[in-house]
Chain A
Amino acid sequence: MKEEDREILEKFRSEETKQMAFNLLIRKYQKRVYWLIRKMVIDHDDANDLSQEVFVKVWFYLEDFRGESGLFTWIYRIATRECMAFLRKKKRRFFLPIGDVEGEMSKKIETGSDFSGDEIQKKLQLAILKLPEKQRLVFNMKYFEEITYEEMSEILGTSVGALKASYHHAVQKIQADLEKQMKS
């Protein structure tokens, strides 16, 4: 665990410095957590709600954190679980075909209500949205966040080999989809 995180943890365990430690933690990780979630849910309001929920959980459970993994890994694990649970819940709410949730997110990117990137970025995001959720998460973590497979393995509780294979498939699918998009 990084020295800075260890210090945050120590301060969090003392009643006098608990608030200060939590402020430090929020400032250090809020952007990374938000962007991880935002890339998964696309909508800002949903990302905001989920990010807040992640830090509320951190506040309530940080004292029980044993420090077996890095603090960042632990927070990311909470964030990914919240994200997956949210998407699953959203799919259940739609009742109709499963693709509707992805369809809704794609529409937000196409119309530009939640996305202002250029054409190639838009095409890439649309291709990513066609991936299954877990593959999308792996791709986002590896491609945008540049998280190592070892760290990812701790966060997602999957083997490094499976993550490599998942990323490999994701890249191939994205390439194929981009080619299709370019042709059309």
Chain B
Amino acid sequence: MKPEHFPPKELPEVSDAFFSEQADHILKKTTEIEKWSLPGTRNIESSFPVPEGYWLSLEQGIRNRISSPARVAFPDFNLIPKPALAMVLSLLFFAGFAGMWFFQYRTKDNHWSAGLEQVSETELLAYVESRPGFEVQEITENMASGALSESDMVVPDLKISEQDIDENLESINEHELLQNYDNY
């Protein structure tokens, strides 16, 4: 079947010079904009007041900023983005807090073991002997938790003689006993 014939679409008559005229028009418009200006407005600097001798003070200000200790130490500090800075600061805060807690705990622990070393073995053994139900481990734990203090170590009435103590001392491995405290 023969395809239906459509009459050619009517196009407006365009002169040969149309496109070059258009191009000229666009060029003219662009040049106009390029050259656009309001008389007497190009030199705007004179309309913005600047304090007298300002340029010298600007130079001085730059030098002061460069030589400020904070700038020398951290030239890029103000370039750190704010969220990153906030994160770093909060991490530092938590690290500091954890460090303080750990240090305090360790100091307390060290203090306690230092205190324990001052208690004579005789007193300690006497105390253990005077309380048959208590284990050495239990006593040391109580001392660590603060339930027992150094003053509690005073045994008012020693019911064992020094000889008994010596015998007991022989049966107990002194090194092992101290090891227990150190391990705690």
Contacts and interface: CB of A to CB of B under 8 A. Distances in A.
A55 B65 CA distance: 10
Contacts of A52: 58, 61-62, 65
Given A60-B75, A171-B33, A117 B62 contact: no
A55 B66 CA distance: 9
A66 B30 CA distance: 36
A143 to B, nearest CB: 7
B49 A116 contact: yes
A167 B36 CA distance: 11
Nearest to A59: B66
Given A44-B49, A116-B49, A120-B40, A56 B58 contact: no
Interface stretch (A9-17, A30-38, A68-76, A98-106): A30-38
Given A30-B55, A144-B44, A114 B62 contact: no
Given A56-B65, A114-B48, A114-B49, A121 B30 contact: no
A52 B58 CA distance: 7
Nearest to B71: A56
A77 interface: no
A130 interface: no
Contacts of B62: 26, 52, 55-56, 59
A124 B75 contact: no
A39 interface: yes
Contacts of A172: 33
B50 A44 contact: yes
A168 interface: yes
Interface of chain A, helix or strand or loop or mixed?
Answer: helix
A26 B66 CA distance: 13
B45 interface: yes
B175 interface: no
Contact of A121 (B47, B58, B76): B47
B58 A48 contact: yes
Interface residues of A, number: 37
A34 B44 contact: no
A121 B44 contact: yes
Given A44-B48, A52-B65, A56-B71, A118 B40 contact: yes
B159 interface: no
Contact of B61 (A48, A116, A121, A124): A48
Contacts of A116: 47-49
Contacts of B50: 44
Interface of B: 30, 33, 36-42, 44-51, 54-55, 58-59, 61-62, 65-66, 71, 75-76
Closest 4 CB pairs of A and B: A117-B47, A55-B62, A60-B75, A52-B61
Given A23-B59, A30-B59, 14 more contacts: A30-B55, A48-B54, A48-B61, A56-B66, A115-B49, A116-B47, A117-B44, A120-B38, A120-B39, A121-B40, A143-B37, A144-B42, A144-B44, A168-B30
